[in-house]
Amino acid sequence: MAVRYELIKTCKQTGARLGKLHTPHGTIDTPVFMPVGTQATVKTMSPEELKAMGAGIILSNTYHLFLRPGHEIVREAGGLHGFMNWDRAILTDSGGFQVFSLSNLRKITEEGVSFRSHLNGEKLFIGPEEATHIQNALGADIFMAFDECAPYPAEYDYVQKSMERTTRWAERCLKAHTRPNEQALFGIVQGGMYHDLRAQSARDLVSMDFPGYAIGGLSVGEPFSLMYEVLESTVPLLPTGKPRYLMGVGSPDALIDGAIRGIDMFDCVLPTRIARNGTCMTSQGRLVIRNAKYARDFTPLDPNCDCYTCKNYTRAYIRHLVKSEETFGIRLTTYHNLHFLVKLMENVRQAIAEDRLQDFRDQFFAQYGLGEDRSF
Ligand SMILES: [Zn+2]
C-alpha cells in the first residue's frame, strides 16, 4: 500500500488525533495543512521556500493540469514530482470540483461529465476512468476519486442521486487505478448537509476499503456550525486506522475546530488567494495591509510570527509593495500566510501531544478576535 496512517495518540481534552502519514515521499505529521499549488506551483513560492517553512505535502489540481500542459507531458517529465522539482509528498484532487465550478456547458451522465474548457472552449469529457488515468500519469502520492460536489443549498433528492452516483464512480476509480503500490486513492464522502446521506456514503465507501477518506462538499457556503454538525456525525463512521481529509478548509479557526473533530488533513487556497490582495492571517485575526493606518507602521505583520517575512520586513514596506503591485509584496504576504498555517498546525500537534488542545483553542480565540476581523 502506498500510504499508511499511524495513529500516535488522541488528545484527552478534545479527542483530536496526532498521527503520522507515511508516503513514498516522506512522512507527514498530522493534523496537517496542505498548501495548494493549482498549476503545479504554489503561486510565487519556490519549492525551497515551501520546504524552509516546513511544508511536507502540497496539493495540485487535476483539472488545470489536464487542460494545460496536459497529463502526458507531466508523465514524460517524471510525474509532478519531477516536473516541478518537489521531492516531498503531493496530493491531487480529482478534477470533479473544478469541472463543476469552472468549466462551461456541463452535462452530467452516469458515464461522467462533458464540458467545455474554460481556457479555449474545447469540448472535453472526464469520467471516473479518465480522472484516474490522468492522476496515475500525474503520479501524486495521494489522489482522489472522481466525485460530484453538490452545491449548497440543494434538495434532498438531488443530493441523494449525486451521492449515490459518486459512490458508483468511486468503485470505477478503484478498478481503473493501475499504480496502487505507488499512489493511494482516497474516497470522498458526499451527501450534502443530510446526515443520513452522509452516513450512507461513508458506509458504502468504507466497505470498499480505501487507504484514506476525504469529506467533500463542505465549506461550500454553509455556516461553520452546520459544517461541524456534519463532521460530528460523519467522522465517527470512518475507520480510525485511516487518514481523514477535510477538503477546502483553511481558515485558522476551522483548522483547530476541524482537528478537534478528528480531521487529519486540510487544504485550501485561502491563505495564498487572500495574500495576493494583501490580506494577512495573524494571531490577532485578519490584517488588511493596504489600510492607511499601516503607512508608518514599522513593526512586522505579526509580532508573534518568526517567518522570513516577519523577521525581515515591516508592515509599512509590505503595504508600499502591495499598493505598488510589486511581485515581491505578494511573495512576502504569501510566505507569511502559509508559514502562519504550517506553524499553527505544529502548535496544534504539540497541544494534542500534551493533552491540552482545548486550552490552546481557548488561548488562540482569546487573541484572535482582537484584530480587525476574525473572518476571511
Ligand atoms: Zn510572518
Q: Where are the domains of the chain?
A: 4-267, 275-364
- Annotated catalytic residue 87: no
Q: Of the residues 93, 257, 264, 302, which is catalytic?
A: 93
Residue matched to cell numbers 458504502: 204
Cα 337 to ligand 1 centre (Å): 7
- On whether 355 is known to bind a ligand per the annotation, the reply is no
pLDDT tens digit sequence for 193-244: 999 999 999 999 999 999 999 999 999 999 999 999 999 999 999 999 999 9
Instruction: Place 101 in a pLDDT band, splitting at 50, 70 and 90.
Output: confident
Instruction: Place 103 in a pLDDT band, splitting at 50, 70 and 90.
Output: confident
Q: Taking each helix axis from N to C terminus, what angle separates 357-368 and 327-353, rounded to the nearest 10 degrees?
A: 150
- On whether 369 is known to bind a ligand per the annotation, the reply is no
- On whether 212 is known to bind a ligand per the annotation, the reply is no
Decide if domain 4-267 falls under CATH 3.20.20.105. Answer: yes
- Position 371 scores a pLDDT of 57
Q: Of the residues 196, 267, 302, 355, which is catalytic?
A: 267
Return d(Cα 181, Cα 37) in angstroms, integer: 24
pTM for this model (two decimals): 0.97
- Position 369 scores a pLDDT of 73
Cα 10 to ligand 1 centre (Å): 29
- On whether 183 is known to bind a ligand per the annotation, the reply is no
Return d(Cα 242, Cα 291) in angstroms, integer: 45
- Annotated catalytic residue 93: yes
Is the pLDDT confidence value at 375 over 90? no
pLDDT tens digit sequence for 289-302: 999 999 999 999 99
- On whether 305 is known to bind a ligand per the annotation, the reply is yes
pLDDT averaged over every residue in the chain: 96
Cα 219 to ligand 1 centre (Å): 26
Rounded average pLDDT over 247-251: 96
Return d(Cα 31, Cα 21) in angstroms, integer: 10
* CA count, 13 A, side-chain hemisphere, 64: 13
Cα 304 to ligand 1 centre (Å): 8
- On whether 93 is known to bind a ligand per the annotation, the reply is yes
Cα 284 to ligand 1 centre (Å): 12
Helix-, strand-, coil-residue percentages of the chain, each rounded to 5: 45, 20, 40
Cell numbers standing for residue 360: 490552546
Cα 318 to ligand 1 centre (Å): 12
Cα 225 to ligand 1 centre (Å): 29
CB 81 within 8 A of CB 87: yes
- On whether 147 is known to bind a ligand per the annotation, the reply is yes
